[in-house]
């Protein structure tokens, strides 16, 4: 199967961006999750493994186990699936460098820095061990370190979950330079095997070299089983004796004489770290050395503790009871002398007060008042910052007065993963971020995929590791993107409705009487034309309607004042005109109206009434000799308004 080219879509979801690297079992690509819009590291299983049903089943089950490891120092596994006759795992993408790259570029590292990185690896291993998962391939290549030395362990691809029957007896999986002796022999591996590998990583950080190397993997494996490691301080004299002793302790050939758990190794390294920072000797290492030596004598009849101080726990000696008895007597005599000297010179002792769970300033005062010195070790923790989460020696135990009590103080989580909130309501998404010790800032964005009020995503993206208290931008859907509303004013109602519907809006129409606009045309709209509105929202249009017609009262024959009152009472405006009449009975009466009485017209219109005006008699006549005629009276008319008496 050829490697996928850039822009290849894996399983219809992951678009390949570029190749990140290749390992013994898989190629790793940077890809973009098209559903969640985030970058992932996509591990694609090599074809030769994909064709092995047993390996595929182990791959499936162990990927599932790894996906359950959600921890600040473990690279998250998001998804797994099948593509093009192979299988993949989608993991958290981290842009940092591998610890192997850091070692190549900067080793040997400062002891405190090396301890800090190792503690993070141990916390990841401890988290996995408590859930029954053994990594089995812990090496600097599988640790990603960012610019601030925050470390995350990756590649649980050959991890064993519990007592998995998918691991074949006698098989060796892992990288030779970092294999535990029992793993190199094909024996069952436990948590102590991971601790041995971590010890090799610490050795390499401190010295720039692995303790065992060779031309072939088998050669290296045999050295793990049979050869003692060279003490680290011989390669790097800056390594303090306490740290040198811890490294050799964890590299013991026999798992029974290594640290019993990640917790025990963490405690020893934290004690050494505190001593390096305070300048005082560590207390854990002395007890550790005594325990290891005593266990060795009782458990190994053909080995005895080393007395040269180099940390080599055992050396072969000749068989026979006489040398063994002599050695035992010497040890007993020396131990008896040392015990007597200690009893004569030991300082006064006191009980260490229990202060776990208290604030640092309170705990410091209590411990100092009890007669002890205080050393503070800041460690990442889910507990609130400033709270004491451990003490060494433990509270209630007895220790020399004026000795140092190391207080492990929470500095809060070293890193938290941004939770996935896609599809949640705004309130639920904000609550999820608060639970992850993160702040939130809401930004509304249009979305055709997510309904109004639902979370679209975050920045930083979900799964990304950030410092506690980081402000995360929470994108909330404001609904589909808005569209421009067409301007339909002045158009007919039918044309306006068609245009708005085609633009993706619904239409609601109301009528309004208008004396000035053409009936059936749009008078106004809301939202106004040219503004933006959500698709599917309603645009209200107001349609012009002709006013309802009413009958004009008939006022012909009535007195002008009464006629004007009747017309104005019916809602009309009145215009008066006068016309000369000769009939006295028509004087002051309405002799004509326009529009005529009974005609249907729009309310509020104007009615013109003509009022009779009696003309005065003629003052002279002109006689003629040939004929006579009467000069007719010339009619005249004038216009007045309602309410003004005619002259």
Among 117, 125, 119, smallest CA distance to 144 is for: 117
CA distances from 344 to 45, 317, 348, 402 (A): 66, 35, 11, 18
Q: Could you tell me the two tokens for 494? A: 């039918």
3-state secondary structure of 253: coil
Sign of the alpha-carbon dihedral angle for 588, 590, 592, 594: positive
CA distances from 449 to 423, 426, 482 (A): 10, 16, 14
3-state secondary structure of 478: coil
* Residue 335 neighbours by CB distance under 10 Å: 12
Cα–Cα distance between 164 and 168 in angstroms, integer? 9
Among 153, 30, 141, 9, smallest CA distance to 95 is for: 30
Q: Could you tell me the two tokens for 307? A: 């007395």
Burial readout 596-628 (b: 16 or more C-beta within 10 A, e: otherwise)? eeeeeeeeeeebebbbbbeeeeeeeeeeeeeee
59, with CB counted inside 10 A (0-12, 13-18, 19+), is: buried
Longest dimension (CA), the chain: 194
Q: Could you tell me the two tokens for 110? A: 């400062």
Cis peptide before 595 (omega within 30 of 0): yes
Among 554, 587, 561, smallest CA distance to 576 is for: 561
Cα–Cα distance between 407 and 420 in angstroms, integer? 35
Cα–Cα distance between 201 and 198 in angstroms, integer? 5
Whose tokens are 């003052």? That residue is 619
Cα–Cα distance between 258 and 248 in angstroms, integer? 9
Q: Rounded to an integer, what is the distance from CA 14 to the centroid of its chain?
A: 19
Among 234, 236, 231, 225, smallest CA distance to 246 is for: 231
DSSP conformation class of 85: T
The residues that are catalytic are: 137
Q: Are 139 and 197 within 8 A, CB to CB?
A: yes
Sign of the alpha-carbon dihedral angle for 418, 422, 428, 430: positive
3-state secondary structure of 337: helix
Q: Are 599 and 607 within 8 A, CB to CB?
A: no
What is the chain's length? Answer: 647
Cα–Cα distance between 67 and 60 in angstroms, integer? 11
Phi, psi (rounded to 5 degrees) for 446: -70, 145
3-state secondary structure of 178: helix
């Amino acid at each position: 199967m050829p490697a996928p080219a850039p822009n290849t879509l894996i399983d219809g979801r992951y678009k390949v961006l570029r190749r990140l690297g290749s390992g013994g079992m898989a190629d790793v690509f940077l890809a973009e999750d098209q559903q969640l819009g985030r970058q992932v590291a996509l591990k694609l299983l090599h074809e030769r493994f994909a064709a092995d049903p047993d390996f595929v089943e182990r791959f499936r089950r162990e990927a599932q186990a790894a996906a359950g490891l959600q921890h600040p120092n473990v690279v998250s596994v998001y998804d797994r699936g099948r593509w093009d006759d192979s299988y993949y795992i989608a993991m958290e993408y981290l842009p940092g460098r591998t610890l192997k790259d850091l070692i190549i570029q900067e080793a040997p590292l400062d002891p405190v820095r090396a301890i800090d990185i190792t503690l993070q690896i141990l916390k990841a291993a401890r988290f996995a061990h408590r859930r029954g998962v053994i990594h089995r391939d812990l090496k600097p290549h599988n640790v990603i370190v960012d610019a601030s030395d925050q470390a995350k362990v990756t590649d649980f691809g050959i991890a064993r979950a519990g007592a998995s029957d998918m691991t074949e007896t006698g098989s060796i999986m892992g990288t030779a330079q970092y294999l535990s002796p029992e793993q190199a022999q094909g024996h069952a591996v436990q948590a102590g095997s991971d601790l041995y590998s971590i010890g090799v990583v610490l050795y390499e950080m401190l010295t720039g070299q692995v303790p065992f190397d060779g031309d072939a993997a088998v050669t290296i494996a045999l050295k793990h089983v049979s050869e003692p490691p060279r003490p680290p301080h011989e390669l790097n004299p800056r390594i303090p004796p306490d740290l040198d002793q811890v490294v050799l302790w964890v590299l013991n050939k026999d798992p029974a004489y290594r640290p019993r758990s990640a917790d025990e190794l963490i405690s020893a390294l934290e004690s050494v770290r505190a001593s390096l920072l305070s300048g005082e000797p560590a207390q854990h290492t002395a007890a550790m050395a005594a325990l290891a030596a005593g266990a060795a004598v009782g458990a190994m009849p053909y080995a005895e503790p080393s007395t040269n101080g180099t940390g080599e726990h055992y050396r072969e000696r000749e068989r026979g009871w006489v040398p063994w008895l002599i050695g035992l007597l010497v040890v007993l005599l020396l131990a008896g002398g040392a015990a007597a000297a200690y009893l004569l010179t030991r300082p006064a002792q006191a009980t260490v007060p229990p202060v776990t769970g208290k604030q640092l300033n309170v705990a410091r005062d209590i411990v100092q008042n009890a007669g002890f010195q205080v050393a503070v070790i800041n460690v990442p923790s889910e507990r609130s910052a400033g709270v004491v989460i451990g003490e060494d020696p433990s509270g209630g135990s007895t220790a020399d007065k004026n000795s140092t009590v190391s207080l492990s103080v929470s500095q809060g989580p070293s890193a938290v993963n941004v939770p996935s909130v896609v599809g949640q309501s705004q309130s639920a998404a904000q609550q999820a971020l608060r639970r992850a010790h993160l702040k939130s800032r809401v930004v509304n964005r249009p979305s055709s995929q997510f309904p109004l009020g639902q979370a679209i995503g975050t920045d930083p993206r979900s799964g990304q590791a950030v410092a506690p208290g980081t402000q995360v931008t929470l994108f909330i859907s404001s609904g589909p993107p808005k569209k421009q509303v067409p301007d339909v004013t002045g158009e007919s109602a039918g044309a306006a409705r068609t245009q708005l519907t085609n633009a993706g809006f619904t239409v609601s129409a109301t009528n309004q009487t208008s004396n000035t606009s053409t009936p059936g045309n749009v008078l106004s709209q809301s939202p106004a034309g040219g503004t933006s509105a959500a698709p599917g929202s309603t645009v209200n249009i107001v349609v012009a309607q002709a006013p309802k017609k009413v009958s004009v009262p008939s006022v012909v024959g009535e007195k002008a004042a009464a006629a004007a009152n009747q017309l104005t009472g019916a809602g009309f405006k009145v215009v008066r005109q006068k016309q000369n009449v000769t009939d006295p009975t028509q004087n002051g009466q309405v002799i004509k109206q326009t529009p005529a009485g009974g005609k249907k017209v729009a309310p509020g219109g104007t009615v013109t009434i003509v009022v009779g005006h009696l003309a005065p008699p003629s003052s002279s006549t002109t006689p003629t000799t040939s004929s006579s005629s009467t000069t007719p009276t010339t009619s005249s008319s004038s216009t007045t308004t309602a309410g003004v008496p005619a002259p």
